Structure 1
Amino acid sequence: MDRQASGRAAEDRALQWLLQQGLRLIERNYRCRLGEIDLIMEDRDCLVFVEVRKRGHGSRVSAEASVDARKQQKLIHAANLYLSRYPRRASQPCRFDLIALASDSERATPLWYKDAFRP
């Protein structure tokens, strides 16, 4: 499976898991000039910007560690642009979550880091 297909499968898996946890999908693969947000969801009244990461055993950096300060800033800027385009959402509380997936098992429970970082 190529990298793009693998990433899509990881996002599919994360999305299904988050839906089972009661979140509601707002948008998938939001793209703008500042970057991309994998999933935008609602958790009750909170708008959630979700980054999905999948890493294998051979990776030098864990899925969690791969969302470094630079990546966080890109996500924050993209989220701010999203909120400026959809002003009715700007009044909602927001958070940034991370879903980390291990590539070695399709049955393993995703690791869900709620409020993984803050602007």
Structure 2
Amino acid sequence: MSPGTYLRLRREATGLSLRELAYQFFTPPLDLAEVEQLLVNAEADDAPLDAGSLHRVNLFVPLDIEIYASLLAELPTRSVCRRCACSWFDPCQDSFGPCAWADAAATLCTRCARIEATAEKQKRPVA
């Protein structure tokens, strides 16, 4: 997983669009379009977020800063969900509480496993 993919998955897991996050992140004298472009560039892996910007994003999007830093440095990371990018230190929350790992390899959280199972059921023809 790339650092930009990690940021995008975490943002999407919160339900925020890029524009909505940019608006939350926006502080004059920066222009809203500049902030949105900064986020677009970060998610496209064109320009990583600096520490200040990363911590500001983390006010609105739950992130594991150590995972982001490891991904930037291309170092091994702790387990990260392949669907929402949650981790042990940054679990998803749903009506069942915080998620856990759904597979032995720790690549899919229980919340995302339930979402995938529901989607798979909806694909099956009704008998």
TM-score, length-normalised on structure 2?
A: 0.28
TM-score, length-normalised on structure 1?
A: 0.29
Higher helix share: 2
Structure with higher Rg: it is 2
Higher strand share: 1
